[in-house]
Structure 1
Amino acid sequence: MEEFESGARGRVTIYSVQGCPHCVRAKATLGPLGVPVCDVDLGMHSELRAKVRELTGRSTVPQIFFNGVHVGGSDELQKLAPEELQRLVNLVKDEPLPVDAPPLPQKTQSEDTAGENDGASELSLILRELILKLFSEHLSADGKSVDYKGMSASPAFDRYCELAIQLQRVELLSLSREEKLAFFINIYNALVIHGYLRLGAPTNMWQRYRFFNYVSYLIGGEVFTLQDIENGVLRGNRKGIAQLRRPFSKTDPRLQVALPDAEPLIHFALNCGAKGCPPIKTYSPQDIDSQLRTAAEAFLENDDACTVDSGKGEVRLSQIFKWYKADFGGTDEKLLNWVLEHMGDSPKKNSLQGVLSAGKTKVSFLPYDWTSNSSH
């Protein structure tokens, strides 16, 4: 790169993230062009993310600029006609950088001490963008069914699989509670889909048990199965359904990653691939609690999750509330109060309030639809 710098007046700026295959491909294309290429790792310089998004209108990587001209990502770079690419190369060679050139990071001492690990929240963000893309193309509008066949043939899914391998390098202990919630909910929902695509949907109780205890990712150097993510991390290391012991023993290094206590709202965000599950969405760390509350409200509004019979003084709830009753207070009374507090204002909420005020409420549980959420 040095040999061209004296000759070229401008530069190419590429915003990338370590381990992103599209970034690698873009850099391989830019390398032989004979112009200085400045690679900015947004994993290490997350302070520039907002600025890049403002300049490009996108939050994906890579983003490539020739001087001040935004080309786009790797695909757009590959699609440039040879004469157009040559024009951009000449621009960098002949024209000085504009005043409002894309920003470079301020040099700080921390760069020397930056670890080898990818930031989990950065990788989570990129995976979330990819998952969003996959969902927008292969998920029904209500988030209830997935076109697994279409998804397995998608290039975005191949890229997702490549990026999922990067999870092994993630540093989990630096995550805040909010980052942890968003990261592990998104990873769980994507891992279920990944498992379905690789192994097919489980069709009976035994296959489901095996699926949730077997399908896993290597994250931060440790193996996390679906069961470990849900009951170990997100439920504060509580026993799951049909589990004899807690997922993590006292000496298990994964215990350090677990939330200090169960977060009941995760039950309205995790989708296990069955029709009885809440819809699939992706979550971001910013205001995660209000996103989860909204998911709970939406779930409780459905009659396959909660019905109130004022005449009989009976409330029928999803099996989720039976399986994880401990997370909602452990008694029928606490469970019903939790449900009431987390409902949106609606006629159903008024009915529930009335039934609870009358006292002696009967609680029963609705049948759970284990049918696969495959749209075909």
Structure 2
Amino acid sequence: MTLLTEPVLGQSSQPMWQEVMSDYVDASGRVNYDELRSNPFALKSFVDFIAEVSPKSHPDLFATENARKAYWINAYNALVMWGIVENPGISSVKDVAIANGFFWRLKFVVGGEQMTLNQIEHDILREKFRDSRIHFAINCGSASCPVLGQRMYDADDLDARLDSAATHFISDTANVRIDERKRTIYLSMIFNWYAADFEKSGLQGVIPTVIHYLPKEQKPMADISNFKIEPPPKTILHCD
């Protein structure tokens, strides 16, 4: 992993983000916010780093698209986590009233500029990179969102990590379930909210994406291109 060691920045705080992922995210992707609130130093250090450094403020430090993409994925996940930590009494964004505008009103400093989480997601991650796999890598703090891993995203193996995140999400029957008898596919609302992103991807659509990332043992025997699509039989929080 390439760390940012330019003298003007001092010691990079990126390892602090990895410390947070290792120490406060369990194997199932659940964040221990009680413990994190009691010892927020590592997360605060990374949030301070984000405030000072971004691909826009220091472009020479992010020479490749994967370096920029990894930065913004890590930044989004860290800032969601920090927003929850900074609001005592909540354990996920489900506890934040919609009127409070967690995603579209709460602002963070990123590379010297104020930004909301919605701006990071829609104006940068979606618009600039057009990589639908990103939807499986960012976590909005709700139980229905793709889970966090225990490793930060890094440019060196980003494509493999994003493929893995896609497979992990799609192979979970809580997110994708194919009922060949009923000729119905039950899909997470992520595929509905961001259908246009999947259409623009190299796999050209939601169904081709699902088929591509399903493990071999879960792939359907039938042609599912004309199956009815329905949401899973549960309530899912829209993070925006």
Q: TM-score, normalised by structure 2?
A: 0.82
Once the two structures are superposed, the pairs formed by residues 346-361 of structure 1 within 5 Å of their partners are 346=217, 348-349=218-219, 351=220, 354-356=222-224, 360-361=226-227
Partners of 2:27 and 2:157 in 1: how far apart?
23
How far, CA to CA, are the matches of 2:111 and 2:23 in structure 1? 30
Structure 1 residues 208 and 304, CA gap change in structure 2 (3 angstroms): farther
The partner residue of 2:18 within 108, 124, 132 is 132
> Which residue identity lines up with residue 265 of structure 1 in the other structure?
R
In structure 2, what is the equivalent of residue 164 of structure 1? Answer: 47
**Is 2:226 the partner of 1:264?**
no
Give the Cα–Cα distance (whole angstroms) in 2 for the partners of residues 284 and 146 of structure 1.
20
- How far does residue 202 in structure 1 lie from its aligned partner after superposition? 3.7
Q: SS state of the match for residue 273, structure 1? A: coil
Taking the aligned partners of 2:108 and 2:190, their CA distance within structure 1 comes to 25
| Paired residues of 1:215 and 1:226 also in contact (CA < 8 A) | yes
Q: Structure 2 counterpart of 1:292, which letter? A: L
Cα distance 1:371–1:326, how it changes in 2: closer, same or farther (>3 A)? closer
- Please give the per-residue CA displacement for 1:232-270, whole angstroms capped at 9, x wherever unaligned: 11101xxxxxxxxxxxxxxxxxxxxxx2x4210011011
The equivalent of 1:182 in structure 2 is 70
Question: Are 1:195 and 2:83 matched, yes or no?
Answer: yes
Q: Distance in 2 between matches of 1:340 and 1:140?
A: 28
Runs of at least 5 residues in structure 1 that lack an aligned partner in the other structure: 1-16, 18-41, 46-115, 237-258
Distance 1:317 1:141, change over 3 A: same
Encode CA deviations 1:75-134: one digit per residue, 9 max, x unaligned: xxxxxxxxxxxxxxxxxxxxxxxxxxxxxxxxxxxxxxxxx4x39xx84xx33x223322
Aligned residue among 213, 216, 220 for 1:342: 213
Q: 1:263 to 1:324 in 2, by over 3 A?
A: same
Q: Do the aligned partners of residues 297 and 208 (structure 1) sit closer, same or farther apart at CA in structure 2, a change above 3 Å counting? A: farther
* 1:56-85 per-position Cα deviation (integer Å, ceiling 9, x unaligned): xxxxxxxxxxxxxxxxxxxxxxxxxxxxxx
Q: Is residue 187 of structure 2 the alignment partner of residue 317 of structure 1? A: yes
- Structure 1: how far apart are the matches of 2:116 and 2:185? 34
Where in structure 2 are the equivalents of 1:116-127 lying within 5 Å?
116=8, 118=9, 123=12, 126-127=13-14
Q: Is the 8 A contact 2:198 2:209 kept in 1?
A: yes
Deviation at residue 209 of structure 1 after TM alignment: 6.9
Q: Which has the higher contact order (CA 8 A, sep 6+)?
A: 2
- 1:300 matches 2:197: no
Shift of 1:210: 0.2
Describe the SS at the equivalent of 1:152. helix
1:318 and 1:328 map into 2 onto residues whose CA distance is 13
Match of 1:95 in 2: none
1:163 Cα deviation after fit: 4.2
Structure 1 distance, partners of 2:133, 2:238, is 23
**RMSD of aligned residue pairs (Cα, Å):** 2.8
Alpha-carbon displacement from aligned partner over 1:175-195 (angstroms, at most 9, x marks no partner) = 221011111111111111111
- SS of 1:329's partner is helix
How far off is 1:171 after superposition?
4.8
Give yes or no for contact 2:104–2:118 (8 Å, CA) kept in 1.
yes
Residues 197 and 212 of structure 1: CA distance in aligned 2, closer, same or farther (over 3 Å): same
Q: What secondary structure sits across from 1:315 in the alignment?
A: strand
The unaligned stretches of length 5 or more in structure 2 are: none
The alpha carbon displacement at 1:334 in A equals: 2.7
Out of 216, 229, 237, the position equivalent to 1:363 is 229
- Runs of 4+ residues over 6 Å off in structure 1: none
In 2, Cα distance between the equivalents of 1:207 and 1:265? 27
Q: Structure 1 residues 163 and 270 mapped into 2: Cα distance closer, same or farther (>3 Å)?
A: closer
* 135, 138, 153: which one aligns with 2:38: 153
- 1:153 CA drift (Å): 0.8
**Partner in structure 2 of residue 43 of structure 1:** 5
Match for 1:44: what amino acid?
E
Q: Does 1:216 align with 2:107?
A: yes
Larger radius of gyration: 1
- How do 1:13-28 and structure 2 match up within 5 A? none
* 1:328/1:178 CA distance change after superposition, 3 Å: same
Give the counterpart letter for 1:278 in structure 2. Answer: P
